[in-house]
Structure 1
Amino acid sequence: MSSSPVSSTPILRTVLVWSGTVTAVLAVVGAVVGFLVAGTTGLWSALAGVLVAAVFLGITGASILIANRWYGNELYVPIFFGIVMGGWILKFVVFIAILFILRGQPWIEPAVFFVALVASVLASLAIDVVVMLRMRVPNVSDVELPTDPDAGDRTDGHTETR
């Protein structure tokens, strides 16, 4: 697989890998703590909270990675924003639907669900910060500089004399 010329691709891949690992840890810890706090209901509530957060936080990174595949295409910008905005709208609609569906379920303990959801979101934000601080990306990226004006590629009408 060739590397993408878009500088955000390795960052997003790293974020998704780390998020998957942290989600697995949070699921185990949340299930144990949820079970100790509220029994089986707490266990399922914690797992549901972690899963909901993981899916919705992963959709953004995945949609950007998918959209970056069109880099270099003349329609890259509209395709990119169409995919990313479509993903955000989908997340919003599905999140509201999930909250309405889970709201009245007898197997959901609202406090455990909420704490698991918030813990997962905070862990995701921490991962984003750590990955961004550790990645080595130039200040100016995804830019192709013009060639040497002395080589005849100058387009501003000026000629340089020596």
Structure 2
Amino acid sequence: MSDARPEPADRTPTSNPVLKRALAWGGALAGVILVVSAVLGYVFAGLPGLWGGIVGTLMAVLFMGITAGTILLANRFAGSDLFVGIFFGIVLGGWLLKFVLFIVLVFVLRDAAWLDPMVVFLSLVAGVIASLVVDVLVVAKSRLPYASDVTLPKAPEDD
């Protein structure tokens, strides 16, 4: 007696290429923002402005990377029966990590004499806005199927 069960569908989430593309484009744009904010920071605020541009941009990149990275990590459990719980646990844990990390960085860097706080703020805002723009553009230009785990029946042979 043979087992007539169908092969399981590929459980790899279709969002993985979109997230990887968003990370790649976000990283490239963050490199541009890093250079521009560091140069402008140095021009307008000297060495503290240079460091402020670097630190602010790196903070934005770190927070962007945590979000996409936790989703990609959580998607590895797509075939599991506990996928939904694992997914939300990992993603919410990443958000909690970002929140705590942001608060810690604000308190640690608040009185740093080697940083210009306005340049840190502006480069952080520029990085966040750029990340959002990249996410919107990547998702808008992506082609995702409406149903990802569907196996269509084979058409009957025409005789």
TM-score class normalised by the smaller sequence: 0.7 to 0.9
- What is the TM-score when the length of structure 2 is the normalising length? 0.86
The CA distance in 1 between the partners of 2:56 and 2:147, in whole Å, is 37
Letter in 1 for 2:124: L
How many residues get paired? 145
Asked if the contact 2:61–2:127 (Cα under 8 Å) also holds between the matched residues in 1, the reply is yes
1:20-31 correspondence to structure 2 within 5 Å: 20-31=27-38
Which of 121, 135, 150 is equivalent to 1:144? 150
Identical aligned residues as a percent: 46
1:97-108 correspondence to structure 2 within 5 Å: 97-108=104-115
1:5-154 correspondence to structure 2 within 5 Å: 5-138=12-145, 140-144=146-150
Asked if the contact 1:7–1:141 (Cα under 8 Å) also holds between the matched residues in 2, the reply is no
Q: Kindly indicate whether structure 1 or structure 2 has the higher relative contact order, using CA contacts under 8 Å at least 6 residues apart.
A: 2
- What is the TM-score when the length of structure 1 is the normalising length? 0.84
Say if 1:102 and 1:132 are closer, same or farther in 2 by CA, change over 3 A.
Answer: same
Which 4+ stretches in 1 moved above 2 angstroms? 141-148
SS of residue matched to 1:70:
coil
The CA distance in 1 between the partners of 2:69 and 2:123, in whole Å, is 22
The CA distance in 1 between the partners of 2:80 and 2:27, in whole Å, is 31
The CA distance in 2 between the partners of 1:126 and 1:103, in whole Å, is 28
The CA distance in 1 between the partners of 2:23 and 2:133, in whole Å, is 13
The CA distance in 1 between the partners of 2:113 and 2:147, in whole Å, is 51
Q: Provide Cα deviations, 1:118-141, integer angstroms capped at 9, x if missing partner.
A: 010110011011101111112x13
Letter in 1 for 2:57: V
CA RMSD after TM alignment: 1.7
The CA distance in 1 between the partners of 2:95 and 2:85, in whole Å, is 15
